[in-house]
């Protein structure tokens, strides 16, 4: 169930969402999603959560590694793509696609050993609510990895096109996010680094066992 107050503009109906179909080549599989899954390191039998899963690029990689993955995605077109993709995937029994948002996750408390999000933080309208949800759904000892590309870094190849995009979305301030997560009782840290050849902002956290 997607809370009305958290409806994203990607979720204003099928017509508004159809433009995402033009992004299939961009979203289907990316080196960055491979790197995010490497960082999150989902292991066989673990329960994973892909927040803002899009077309499931990271979801399928994690499921192929043997993890059980819930792909949470508010956009109907993205979910449809993710479901079609799931059907064609050998790991489909380990993939569930759910409507939902970071601020209101459709999974039980303590049900997630590993959570990740790629290029999604700047979409979340309420970071405090999202981080409270992450602290709720992580199991004791569970971990999370959040990665957003840093288009404001002049070394990003798409800097000219996308610099300043967070001004229209939600700012991704690593220091503030780490502090907010620590306020939720998580052990959190983060940095600016390069991943898959591009500058990124990374936030990592664990729920104390
Ligand atoms: C740039 S896309 C990235 C998709 C995918 N993670 C990837 O790397 O290919 C951002 C995704 O976040 C989703 N999104 C938007 N608002 C959200 C929210 N409040 N909670 C979770 N996901 C959200 C969008 O619908 C979109 O699919």
List the chain domain ranges: 4-206
pLDDT at 13: 62
**pLDDT at residue 62 greater than cutoff 60:** yes
How far apart are the C-alpha atoms of 161 and 57, rounded to whole Å? 23
Pocket test for ligand 1, best of 12, 21, 25, 123 (most atoms within 8 A of CB): 123
Substitution site in 29, 71, 120, 149 for ligand 1 pocket (most atoms within 8 Å of beta carbon): 120
* pTM for this entry: 0.93
What pLDDT, on the 0 to 100 scale, is given for residue 4? Answer: 46
* 12: confidence class by pLDDT, cuts 50, 70, 90: low
Query: What is the share, in percent, of the chain residues with pLDDT greater than 90?
Result: 82
Decide: 74 and 51 in contact? Cβ < 8 Å: no
Highest CATH level, class, for 4-206: alpha beta
Instruction: Give the number of other Cβ atoms within 10 Å of residue 17's Cβ.
Output: 18
């Amino acid at each position: 169930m997607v809370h009305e107050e958290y409806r994203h503009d990607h979720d204003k109906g099928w017509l508004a969402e159809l433009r995402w179909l033009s992004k299939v080549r961009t979203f289907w599989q990316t080196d960055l999603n491979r790197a995010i899954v490497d960082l999150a390191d989902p292991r066989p039998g673990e329960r994973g959560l892909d927040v803002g899963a899009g077309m499931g690029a990271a979801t399928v990689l994690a499921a192929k590694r043997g993890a059980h993955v819930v792909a949470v995605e508010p956009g109907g077109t993205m979910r449809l793509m993710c479901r079609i993709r799931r059907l064609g995937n050998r790991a489909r029994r380990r993939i569930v696609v759910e409507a939902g948002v970071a601020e209101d996750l459709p999974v039980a408390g303590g049900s997630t050993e590993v959570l990740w999000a790629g290029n999604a933080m700047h979409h979340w309208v309420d970071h405090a609510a999202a981080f409270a949800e992450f602290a709720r759904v992580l199991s004791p000892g569970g971990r999370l990895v959040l990665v957003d590309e840093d288009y404001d870094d002049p070394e990003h190849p798409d800097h000219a096109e996308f610099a300043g995009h967070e001004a229209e979305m939600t700012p991704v301030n690593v220091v503030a996010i780490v502090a907010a997560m620590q306020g939720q009782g998580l052990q959190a840290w983060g940095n600016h680094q390069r991943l898959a050849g591009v500058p990124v902002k990374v936030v990592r956290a664990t729920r104390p066992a």
